[in-house]
Amino acid sequence: MSDATRVSRASHPGRRRRLWPIILLGALLALIGIVLIAGGAWLVAVGGSAYYLVAGIGLLVSGALMISGRAVGAWLYILVFIATLLWAYWEVGLNGWALLPRVVGPAVLLFLVLAALPRLTGYRWPGILAAMAVLLVVLVGGGVVIADRNAPVGQEPLPAPSSIAMSDPVRLAAGPDWPAYGGSDSARRYSPLNQINRENVSRLQRVWVAHTGDLPSSEFAEGKYGAETTPLKVGDTLFLCSAKNIMIALDPATGRERWRYDPKVPDEWIPYTAACRGVTYYEVPNADPATVCARRIIEGTLDGRLIAVDAGNGTPCPDFGQSGVVDIKVGMGEVVPGMVSITSPPTIVRGVIVTGHQVLDGQKRDAPSGVIKGFDAVTGALRWAWDMTRPDITGLPPEEQTYTRGTPNMWTIASGDEALGLVYLPMGNSAVDYWSSARTSLEKEFATSIVALNVETGKPAWHFQAVHNDVWDYDFGSQATLVDFPTQNGPVPALVVPSKQGDIFILDRRTGQALVGMEERPVPQGGVEPEQRAKTQPFSLYHTLRKPELTEAMMWGMSPIDQMICRIQFRTASYQGYFTPPTADRHWIEYPGYNGGSDWGSVAVDPTRGIIIANYNDMPNYNEFVPRGEAERLGWAPRGQERGEMGGAEGAGDPQIGAPYAINVNAGWRLPVTKLLCKEPPYGGIRAIDLKTGKTLWDRPFGTARANGPFGIPSGLPITIGTPNNGGPVVTAGGLIFIAAATDNLIRAIDIETGETVWQDALPAGGQATPMTYEANSRQYVVVMAGGHHFMETPIGDAVVAYALPQ
């Protein structure tokens, strides 16, 4: 039958009515073709792939022919699809997640075209329907199987267990108890308990759930919650804090509440996130246990207070500060609510409470000081203050003066060495993260550094800087971990220092000297402040979690159209690789983004097996400088001023008053409609590293797609994609890693030897917190806070969930 005969028949009114689905399909193909031609031409013009332009022309012609009822249009689309398959496999091979946007959308169109082919040709081809069913199963099913490859990557033999016990120079060590945020102030996040182990963990079950009762109660607090809490267990009590600093004591075996103390933090003091990562336990030396506050719980609050309560009943300690309260903001000058907050537990070394605080990012150069303070753990008296630009100030500043404003702060958790009398501070950046011209030389020296302070004097013993003159918000978020590092000359007291940029450094914790090689390498130059950019930056030769640099082929999306949009953004942005300097004339790409690498969850270290466990993020940020005038028109004002409320991801619309530009950070580089990320998965992983050599033992994507999907709609698919994650791991002598953190709202037990998930449970809310484990009544428990997180877009909750083996 000729095309002319088919067109004649198609022109009959009844026939035309029967062909309207084909006309609509042709119109759809033509419309997609027009979009691909427009975007593809732009992409070619900026040096990108020509595929989209060529494919768009093919779809436009195919659609036009099908609208006219000509079967050759369907055959042309089939050829376009075959060419698409060849191009996709040529560009990304058998990378399942990379193939999905390239192949699945075109495969669905192919299904429709094949279904229309019998009507266009006038022949009934039963084989076509069978063929297209097989095709879709093979393409979609095969892509999912490839994408969900669950086997750990880079499986290597594990190191032999050490016969020498690693020392732990701290006040209280982990064992039946979990007496500090990181297990102990060594921050190894390791427990010697092994009742729950690889052989029986499959029988682990939920045994109790407690609720803090702390949920957003005002419009201001909505969209700002993310508890991040890790409880402590000391003796017969579990201690924790809620998102807004309500201190709570629970029975560790039943979850029954024993007491609570509410410091009444006003909502207006919530900074970016209402978070309380934990509390600190302290026993007064030589005190009668029956004395009031001989055992005390100390926390820092969102409104910048230190509060001490009796561990037995939760009443404020009368001998600490003013009726149990010390205001750390004294000496800082003007502090607008929300600008200064304590979100991490303070660290106590030799009876001195050492605390930093968060200074709200991105607001203004004239922000409150990042001063570090040491307070007497019994009386609350100020023992010393470290203002990095005013070393002459060792206490409160002179009258009518303040601590230096805008200096780098420590918002995360310090670790401490009781024997050396040192506390190790992971320092942040100066106020206004992305502009450096106004910084002083001392700010540049200490920012994004590990600073070891002498806890007796508050003076720096040494410091190690990971980023010179940081304009990428690569401040240290991870707590450093104390280990005995194996060397040819025997074990050396060391720090394991993870970073947001992915590098892991090994430092002698006595001197700050690197124990494993690192080097200064040339990095990209130019940008908006070319004279400010360091010529070189430090690179660790021990280990990095950082992945290879981005390429256009790594751009992703739900379909070829949004993948094309991401490619155009990639080609038109400034990207010179790692440490691309900020630019004012166009967007720039920061990879890794400010969420890591490693963030506040840090790493865990198994001291017996000699293994580091690191979960990490693998996402870029898509950043833009906004001129001051435009920012003012948009109403971007700092906290405390009209229209100065924060919203969206951190850095999205930050005013940066005192710099020529505001900053707009697209965290994760997401598309505005589908909310999918422009970089292909995985977006997060978990890795085992040989402590001695820095060699990867295994590495795997971490997190499933069950709670994630386009347009923010959960897909429900238990497919491993590797999600963003916040919160750290815990390792036990039972050969298990317990971790939540991912955006799929699951808590997992992972076999430390293989990296395989051997147990999991769905939490009632997001698990953006580090678990902990302890023993009560001869039974081992694993506990995690399911508080959710606004930044991670997981459900908000107030549940404390405990697991144990059946009795």
Query: Active-site residue numbers?
Result: 473
Q: Compute the distance between CA of residue 577 and CA of residue 632 in angstroms, rounded to an integer.
A: 32
CA angle 68/70/73 to nearest 5° reads 100
What is the token pair recorded at 373? 């303070």
What is the token pair recorded at 384? 């010393």
250, 233 contact by CB (below 8 A): no
627, 754 contact by CB (below 8 A): no
Cα(first)–Cα(last) distance of the chain, in Å? Answer: 78
Residue 359: alpha-carbon gap to chain centroid: 19
Residue 517, CA distances (Å) to 365, 377, 440, 486, 690 in order: 36, 39, 30, 14, 16
Q: Which of 157, 155, 144, 116 is nearest to 22 (CA)?
A: 116
- Which contacts of 746-751 are long-range, i.e. CB under 8 A and separated by 24 or more positions? 746/704, 746/706, 747/771, 747/782, 747/784, 747/801, 747/803, 749/196, 749/201, 749/204, 750/686, 751/198
Q: Which of 700, 753, 720, 723 is nearest to 152 (CA)?
A: 700
Give the single-character DSSP code of 397. Answer: P
Which residues share a beta bridge with 183? Answer: 180
Q: Compute the distance between CA of residue 455 and CA of residue 740 in angstroms, rounded to an integer.
A: 34
User: SS3 string of 414-449?
Assistant: CEEECCCCEEEEECCCCCCCCCCCCCCHHHHHHCCE
Q: Which of 267, 271, 249 is nearest to 258 (CA)?
A: 249
622, 589 contact by CB (below 8 A): yes
Question: Buried (b) or exposed (e) across 593-610, using 16+ Cβ within 10 A?
Answer: bbbbbbbbbbbbbbbbbb
Strands 492-498 and 305-310, how do they pair? unpaired
What is the token pair recorded at 184? 């102990």
Return all residues near 223 (Cβ < 8 A) that are at least 6 apart: 216, 647, 790
Q: What are phi and psi of 686, to 5 degrees?
A: -140, 140
Q: Compute the distance between CA of residue 137 and CA of residue 50 in angstroms, rounded to an integer.
A: 29
| CA quadruple 560, 562, 565, 567: dihedral sign | negative
Which residue do the tokens 């909505």 mark?
Answer: 222
Based on DSSP, count helices (H) and strands (E) in the chain, helices before strands.
11, 41
Give the single-character DSSP code of 172. Answer: S
| 3-class secondary-structure state, position 751 | strand
Q: Compute the distance between CA of residue 761 and CA of residue 392 in angstroms, rounded to an integer.
A: 54
- Which contacts of 437-443 are long-range, i.e. CB under 8 A and separated by 24 or more positions? 437/529, 437/532, 437/659, 438/365, 438/406, 438/658, 438/659, 439/469, 440/389, 442/388, 442/389, 443/388, 443/389, 443/406, 443/407, 443/408
Q: Compute the distance between CA of residue 26 and CA of residue 601 in angstroms, rounded to an integer.
A: 52
Give the single-character DSSP code of 141. Answer: I
Return all residues near 271 (Cβ < 8 A) that are at least 6 apart: 302, 338, 339, 341, 343, 358, 360
Question: Buried (b) or exposed (e) across 625-637, using 16+ Cβ within 10 A?
Answer: bbebeebeeeebb
